[in-house]
Amino acid sequence: MTNSTTRRALLRGTVATAALAAAGTATQGGAAHAGAAAAGAAHAGGADGEQRDGGAGPEIGILLYDGYSLLDPTGPAEVLSRLPGAHVTMIAERRGPVRTDTGDVAVLAERSIAEIDRLDVLLVPGGGNRGTIAAMRNKELLSWIRRIDRHSRWTTSVCTGTLVLAAAGLLKGRQATTYWASADYLRSEFGVTYLPQRYVRSGKIITAAGVSAGLDMALYLASQIAGETTAKAIQLAVEYDPQPPFDAGNAAEADPQLKELALRLLAESQV
């Protein structure tokens, strides 16, 4: 088989012609690009040049820190990277691999915080106890978050990333959500009004519940940046038609034994 026949065939489905046309005329995708202009053209200060189409879309920066939970940054990155013209940049205190809470996986931070002074979207993921606490105490990181937030269009968090935003002082007097087991802490330590929702918007700040809730939040954010049609197309692009085999993900309905086991599995899996 040749490259061209395989490429044609691979995405044939029911929309072969459309897909082919789209692939061949990427820069003419009017509908897909309609939302990008509205997303703002402020770019990451330190990023060295554009990677794809001139950067009409949003600059999305995701902060990694030692001990984050893998899905927190990668779920939203998958969704938001499909926004027209978007760039997603993984950022950390220093460039290089940053390990997850389990220690098993590392995602590369492409930029250090010193290199980035503007973002359209900032996302702060959550992590295990160790990683979250260290991030909450890292004055340089908190200061950078505040600096980026000053000019961002959207400042967002997933899971215990909400606690990091709160530690940076960004959630004063706001409503927010966080990981179910951290809700009391968010309330008592920071006086934040916790709402048990998948995501909570308060002005330009959007917080998401635990880990996988970042996917739902990112789709909402995509709709705010590029419109509902584009967000729906992204949902279809990542085939997000969730059908978990069980119905056990809602802490409000979980019994204490399952909660205990969930927290134990987390604790045991983390380094």
Determine, following the binding rule CB under 8 A, whether residue 245 of this chain makes contact with its own copies: yes
The single residue among 54, 97, 169, 191 that binds its own copies, judged by CB under 8 A, is: 97
Q: Which of residues 150-169 bind its own copies (CB under 8 A)?
A: 159-160, 163
Q: Which of residues 23, 37, 38, 114 is near its own copies by CB under 8 A?
A: 23
Distance of alpha carbon 68 from alpha carbon 221, whole angstroms: 21
Name residues contacting its own copies, limited to 107-136 (CB under 8 A): 107-108, 110, 129, 132-133, 136
197 classed as catalytic: no
Catalytic residue, chosen from 64, 88, 159, 164, is 159
**Per rule CB under 8 A, is residue 9 in the interface with its own copies?**
yes
Residues 225, 39: contact at Cβ < 8 Å?
yes
Is the four-CA dihedral 251, 253, 254, 259 of positive or negative sign?
A: positive
Q: Among residues 140 and 184, whose Cβ is nearest to its own copies? A: 184
Tell me the per-residue interface mask from 170 to 199 with its own copies, x by CB under 8 A, - otherwise: ---------xxxxxxx--xx--------x-
By the rule CB under 8 A, 40 interacts with its own copies = no
Work out which of 39, 44, 63, 77 binds its own copies, going by CB under 8 A: 77
Paired tokens of 44 = 């990451």
Minimum separation from the CB atom of position 217 to its own copies (A): 9
- Alpha-carbon gap, residue 120 to 204, rounded angstroms: 11
Identify residue 246 by its one-letter amino acid code: F
| Contact stretch for its own copies (CB under 8 A) within 38-46, 113-121, 138-146, 219-227 | 219-227
- Give the number of residues in contact with its own copies, rule: CB under 8 A: 112
Q: Please, what is the Cα angle at 132 between 183 and 94, to 5 degrees?
A: 150
Shortest distance in whole angstroms from residue 149 CB to its own copies: 22
Cα torsion through 51, 125, 166, 199, rounded to 10: 100
User: What DSSP state is assigned to residue 87?
Assistant: E
Residues 43-72 that bind its own copies (CB under 8 A): 51-53, 69-71
What is the smallest separation between the CB atom of 39 and its own copies, expressed in angstroms?
A: 14
Q: Measured between alpha carbons, how far is 136 from 139 in angstroms, rounded to an integer?
A: 8
Residue 266 lies near its own copies (rule: CB under 8 A) = yes
Terminal-residue alpha carbon distance, the chain: 47
The least CB distance from residue 176 to its own copies, in Å, is 15
The nearest distance, CB 205 to its own copies, in angstroms, is 17
Residue 122: what residue type? L
- Name the residue nearer to its own copies (CB basis): 53 or 117: 53
The DSSP secondary structure of 120-172, one letter per residue, reads SEEEE--B-HHHHHHHHH-HHHHHHHHHHHHH-SEEEEETTHHHHHHHTTTTT
Specify whether the CB–CB gap between 194 and 183 falls below 8 A: yes
Which positions are annotated as active-site residues?
159
